[in-house]
Structure 1
Amino acid sequence: MKRKILRHMQKMSRVALFGVLAAAVSVGGSLPTASAATSYETVTETFDWGPSVSKVVVDVDRDVKAGDVDASKFRAHVKRVLAEGAMTPQAAVAAKAKNAGADHVVLGSEAKSDKDLEGDRVITAAYVSDAQGNKAQSGHYVTLEMKVGPQETLGAALNFDLRSFLNNWVKSEYTITDEAANAVIDNCKGDIRPQADKFTYGVGTGEEARLSFPYASYEPKDNAKHPLIIWLHGMGEGGNSPSLPIMGNKATQFADASIQKHFGGAYVLAPQARTYWMHGYKTFADGTSIYSKDLMAFIKNYVAAHPGVDENRIYVGGDSNGGYMTMLLVRDNPGYFAAAFPTCEGLADKLISEKDLKNIAQTPIWFTAAKTDTVLPPKDYVVPTFARLQKIGADAHFSFFDKVVDETGLYKKADGTPYEYAGHWSWIYVYNDRCEDTINGKAVKLFDWMAAQHR
């Protein structure tokens, strides 16, 4: 009897020991969730290809010094949650295959499958920082810089939805593994947008409040008179999110010192169409827009509400759909704007009558496009219109690029040549201040030319 009891006790001991070992394996296989005091904020920056999450600023809830941070001890896993009802990349690729007309569409930094919605980001650097991500010698924030690029899908902050043909913001949910503290951090406290945070946002109305416009606005900080730059977004940036017109494709750059310096400071206004600027009264891009009259009234309301705007130096430009609307505004309001700068504009030359041409000619104008644009082929749009304006002696200029390529030197194709963007993306050259023309024997940049124009 005693032997049976002893064998039973030995058996129970082995079971207990196995349970302890199993518990130990379980603890070693997954890290505990960090304390509620830990959190992170994403940092979304706008690049030539659009907005990407470039960093996460992690509150590690412990004091760390600059020399103590090791990038290899962190892991950043992201899940990109699409807007409700949005088409997934995999479904979008299938839809593109059925619709040859959509071949030009870029699906959020070339997302091609649902695998582009979740995975580990490549961490390129880690350092102690303040709450905004600026390097510091000590503190309890660690910033993780992550690899970004035109084909780095996991960092893309937007998803182009083929159902609506509009961009939607992606909710990027991160799980940060901090091996040094044996913890996992998944409490997101917000998103820092260093370029877009320079702007204020609101909703303005047009004539008789028939249509309203979400908008982003940048204002110089002094009390002097300054010109106003109006930028009209492309097709993908319509909707009801006023940050899209400036972040969808780097229009935030108009508030950057690289452009502001040409004007000694300038107001920037980026209104948003609820649908598309090409939303015509009869058909799409028929030479009319349901927005044009109210948009002009909204612009005038904005100017009246900002006495610092120099009414003799109001400039209007836009890309694609926005270039289309730019053409309509100068056509229908001859002489109001001091200058216009439509980019890859979408008003077909066949829709411009001789009367329209004379109206457009009353505004100095600078076109930008690329020869590889297959969305709005220049031969049907800007090329003949520019030639007609030249023929009647208009003050017209044209930056016509062979193709659109990366000029930073950071992004390359497999053969080592610069990464090439879609030919429609000639707005990249505008934002990066690359547009020039020879005027009176001298090379003149677009924004210097604009700054010199007065009504």
Structure 2
Amino acid sequence: MVTKKKKWAKPLMLLGSAAVMSLMLNTGVFAKEIKTQPPSYQTVTEIEDWGAVITKVIVDLGKPVPVNSVTNETFNVHVERYDSRLANPFLQEGNRKVKNAYVSDKHGNPAKKMGKYAVLEMEISPSLSLSSAINYDWAGTGFNDWTDNKYTITQQKNIITNAGSISGLVVDTFTGGVRELVDEFTTGTATYDNVTLSYADYSPAKDNAKNPLVIWLHGAGEGGTDPTMAIAGNKAANFASEEIQAYFDGAYVLAPQTPGFWMEGFTGFGDGTSKYQKALMALIDDYVSQNKDIDPSRIYIGGDSNGGYMTMLMVRDYPEYFAAAFPTCEALKDTLITDEEIQKMKNLPIWFITAKTDMVVNPDQYTVPTYNRLIEAGAKDVHLSLFENVIDTSGLYKNSDGTPYEYNGHWSWIYVYNNEVTNTLNGKTTTLMEWLAKQSL
């Protein structure tokens, strides 16, 4: 028996060695290391309810790799954020959590067998500033603007391919980025009587039919000279989304931008006038005349806060031009609206949106009394959505006690962009966009 054991001992040892060797080769311990082209990365920016965030990086690995060769632990992602407008441009730095990783094509689409790129999807939330693609310069310009985000993506685990292993990648060469929906807009400028406005605009597919025009006027934080901020500072770019466009069978979207604030009046800030109003009306007129397939009987105007103020001025002074309006947390004080102006506005379909927790523009001094006066004047198609507060409705973001994340009460525009403003009209629950799309002069 002892001799028999000795007879089998060597083969068993050899068999064990072979298994270990095979395991080492498969796990890359002894796999041949292969060289790649210099790696680089791109960013993907999406506009969330709280603004523009970088949700993904797409890493060019330099060599094709199998679909199962990249995991959440393959790379560490570090970011440094800067705002060049500031005396000290550095904002913050830190590691971002990778919540999903996969091999892809160059556009970020998951690969079927092999791919030369790796997508790293990262954690985002309203309270996670490391993910933000913009910064609000509250102490200086008072505006949001794009930040400079420098990523360093460091390989932590080998990537095993049939040709060998890829290891030690340090990726810090930025080759560009994609801004979802924002990139579907074009931009321009227009000058009228020495007042220059910039704008972002979206054009629907040509369909040999007349299309409505949705005009959105940005809030105070989105002024300046980069009109992409007028649609990316918060979720205004969503007017170009498939979901909202479907209500209109394709609509033009025009987002004018003021270099300052719509509320800059001739005698003071928010005095019931605006030094940009005539230029804005001229821009709208020109835009309509240059796009022959815009239906002039279906021009809708809305805006939030500072832009809601300008929306109110426009419907007050041009009530027969617009088919409907949707001022949101609007900042035109009710005491600045005369009874004669209420009479002029009462026949225009208007849907007001605000929240009770708005501490910036108190609805009891702005929206609510104006709405009540319009109803008392006999308005037939004027509505008010007065939300209790502004909370996350996606279910993705919660407080520590499990309740929905609560936003600043001034941010009632979130409900507008997500088309979560509803009312019972003619016995049917109707969304804001459904209502808007049916309005015509």
TM bin (shorter chain) = 0.7 to 0.9
Per-residue CA deviation, residues 84-139 of structure 1 (Å, 9 max, x unaligned), is 32677xxxxxxxxxxxxxxxxxxxxxxxxx7x610111111111112222211222
Answer whether contact 2:224 2:258 (CA < 8 A) is retained.
yes
Answer whether contact 2:302 2:328 (CA < 8 A) is retained.
yes
Identity of aligned residues (%): 50
CA shift, 1:212, in A, is: 2.0
SS of 2:73's equivalent? Answer: helix
Q: Give the Cα separation in 2 of the matches to 1:216 and 1:87.
A: 30
Aligned to 1:217: 201
CA gap of 1:151–1:293, structure 2 versus 1, over 3 A, is same
Match of 1:315 among 300, 324, 328: 300
SS of 1:384's equivalent? Answer: helix
Aligned to 1:166: 143
Aligned to 1:52: 53
Answer whether contact 1:231 1:316 (CA < 8 A) is retained.
yes
Aligned to 2:279: 294
Q: Give the Cα separation in 2 of the matches to 1:38 and 1:373.
A: 48
Which has the larger helix fraction? 1
Q: Give the Cα separation in 2 of the matches to 1:423 and 1:412.
A: 16
Match of 2:432 among 422, 446, 453: 446
Answer whether contact 1:132 1:192 (CA < 8 A) is retained.
no
Per-residue CA deviation, residues 214-238 of structure 1 (Å, 9 max, x unaligned), is 1111111123211000000000000
CA gap of 1:87–1:360, structure 2 versus 1, over 3 A, is farther
The answer to whether residue 101 in structure 2 is matched with residue 117 in structure 1 is no
When structure 1 is superposed on structure 2, of 130-139 and 286-295 the one drifting more is: 130-139
Please report the TM-score for the alignment, with normalisation by the length of structure 1: 0.84
Aligned to 1:198: 184
Aligned to 2:371: 386
Structure 1 segments of 4+ aligned residues over 3 angstroms from their partners: 34-37
Q: Give the Cα separation in 1 of the matches to 2:240 and 2:323.
A: 19
Aligned to 2:26: none
The answer to whether residue 126 in structure 2 is matched with residue 141 in structure 1 is no
Per-residue CA deviation, residues 140-166 of structure 1 (Å, 9 max, x unaligned), is 111100000101110111111122211
**Superposition map of 1:236-385 within 5 A:** 236-385=221-370
SS of 1:350's equivalent? Answer: helix
Answer whether contact 1:87 1:161 (CA < 8 A) is retained.
no
The alignment yields a C-alpha RMSD, in angstroms, of: 1.5
Per-residue CA deviation, residues 427-449 of structure 1 (Å, 9 max, x unaligned), is 01011111112222322211111
The answer to whether residue 115 in structure 2 is matched with residue 130 in structure 1 is no
- Unpaired stretches in structure 1, ≥5 consecutive residues: 1-33, 89-113
Match of 2:126 among 140, 146, 150: 150
The one-letter amino acid of 2:58's match is V
Per-residue CA deviation, residues 172-193 of structure 1 (Å, 9 max, x unaligned), is 0001112332121110011111
SS of 2:150's equivalent? Answer: strand
**Superposition map of 1:64-83 within 5 A:** 64-83=65-84
Q: Give the Cα separation in 1 of the matches to 2:352 and 2:79.
A: 40
Aligned to 2:15: none
Answer whether contact 1:49 1:150 (CA < 8 A) is retained.
yes
Q: Give the Cα separation in 2 of the matches to 1:355 and 1:397.
A: 20
Answer whether contact 1:313 1:338 (CA < 8 A) is retained.
yes
CA shift, 1:36, in A, is: 6.6
SS of 1:154's equivalent? Answer: helix
- Unpaired stretches in structure 2, ≥5 consecutive residues: 1-34, 159-166
**Superposition map of 1:370-449 within 5 A:** 370-394=355-379, 395-449=381-435
Q: Give the Cα separation in 2 of the matches to 1:125 and 1:166.
A: 33
SS of 1:131's equivalent? Answer: coil
SS of 1:253's equivalent? Answer: helix
The one-letter amino acid of 2:171's match is I
CA shift, 1:40, in A, is: 0.6
Per-residue CA deviation, residues 62-91 of structure 1 (Å, 9 max, x unaligned), is 111111112202011100011232677xxx
Aligned to 2:25: none
Aligned to 2:172: 186
Q: Give the Cα separation in 1 of the matches to 2:328 and 2:85.
A: 32
Answer whether contact 2:39 2:169 (CA < 8 A) is retained.
no
CA shift, 1:308, in A, is: 1.1
SS of 1:140's equivalent? Answer: strand
The one-letter amino acid of 1:389's match is L
Number of residue pairs matched by the alignment:
394
CA gap of 1:423–1:87, structure 2 versus 1, over 3 A, is farther
Q: Give the Cα separation in 1 of the matches to 2:213 and 2:279.
A: 18
CA gap of 1:87–1:291, structure 2 versus 1, over 3 A, is farther
Answer whether contact 1:122 1:146 (CA < 8 A) is retained.
yes
Per-residue CA deviation, residues 252-310 of structure 1 (Å, 9 max, x unaligned), is 11011111111111110101010111111121111111100110000000000101100
Q: Give the Cα separation in 2 of the matches to 1:277 and 1:217.
A: 19
Q: Give the Cα separation in 2 of the matches to 1:274 and 1:440.
A: 42
SS of 1:424's equivalent? Answer: coil
CA shift, 1:35, in A, is: 7.1
Q: Give the Cα separation in 1 of the matches to 2:303 and 2:88.
A: 27
